[in-house]
Structure 1
């Protein structure tokens, strides 16, 4: 049996040992080496060629983000960032994912976390996932495309995404024009602080205003809303307005925010075309919500990202197989197709 070979990079000897012990105690993986700084990590990657790297965000000499960029140049391999739960750590982590990191783990209590074992299950799961990630994303000319049969003049765009999301969202949102005439709701699986960092980051590069959604906020066409980490987000209709509600109550999903939760709320909205999109991510969050939209909405259109460009094809594949999507597209075509749909409805 081939083990997943992991290189652990952290400037703390304590953290290197704790992380290594957690990995070595797990079936199917082993730590082949450790590095105490970025320079050492880059040298070892050239010779060892590990399957996965765990990389601390905050390190002396060369910071984690700079190391990551260099890894992606010299030897692209799956990288999981370890980040403190500070706003600064969240900001850098979002940039890291945009620059090629597969995922991240939040250290429970700062740079040197004595309770790092609290995230052992999450770490092992993400290493397994990272080892199967698609880093060689490419183009595809083979995709399904059905023409929209939409009946309303107003539209609402909803996007669900998980692992690999920030980079995918950047691609999609940069293709939406200033005059975009529909609100856009995004559920990205992320904890608190990280979703705020994501919103601020996307706001800098998008043609549209991107914010973290707030309970009681009225949805405005041409604005992008990120579901806040640690809370479920739903939309309700109040007269002619659409209004956000947030909740922390239990839901049949271990994700919070949950894509299913948001999609299911959209199945009760009337008078809007619901344009739903499922992008890269593990598992099947979004499938139940999409089924509700398909069953309850007279005017809907579902887009899934193609396996050729998805970092993790789990969520798009589940939607394709279990819901029956209308279109399967590479990530670099999704924004333009959404724009075309909204523009066409706006002219009618």
Structure 2
């Protein structure tokens, strides 16, 4: 189902999302989908739901509950133009909320317009966006939930030098983190994703922390016996547009839909499923965007960790390099690591502003727009 429909960049206004999404919807087979208005955000932006297929297995997916995590939304929109994607829906009813937090998406903020993290509102249900998701869960009664997120550039893997470009989680269902049947079912699907993706060059797949928090939607769903998979679209190298990880997310979603009809077939597989899932390396906060080793200072050489601050700018997102930490032992790697003791092109032109913005012409450290 190819077309010339505009592709969404990493940052897009919600107005642009609505335009592109509606153009995609209009090209879908009319007897295959239903489209609905679910309600409005705090700032009165419309939130939509899309149901695809007529199969017995019901899969609910929601994306961008954190407004500055857009990769999974882009993946959904692009998959809606993919013939192979629709071939996987013969036995599935897929219900999608492509953007749960349109106000945050428009402003590129994690929280909604009332500065509430929707993913900490599964119990209080204090926000209109939370009520929309709860209503969708109650109405659709899914057999599988896909909680779609993006993660920061700070993640690597335990006992590895590789950055974490993707991570997955079967959330806990209780404080004891018991391995319940619903957790085993979602573990099985995550194991299939890892197998289907194969080896990632210069990056890796990680297992996200499963500490229980009933205020989080994934944990809530799992506590209700709904097998749930948390997706985290990560980062590696210079992929600040997240275009490469976008393709990996699409492959991961296809893997889930391909294998979802077998989700309940776990008899006599418990130990092997758990063993394979636990063999996925745990994510660890050991990366930064730029790691300057042996930077000169009046107190001797220092290791300076730099992170890009992201903000909306004309033409996309502006990435502003700022001091994140100095001599922090837990930070082991940078997506770009520069040892100034060995770097011959360094002209001693490192400038640190009062607001902690860092620049160096010789090292090509400066703000950029993607």
Using the size of structure 2 for normalisation, the TM-score is: 0.27
Using the size of structure 1 for normalisation, the TM-score is: 0.28
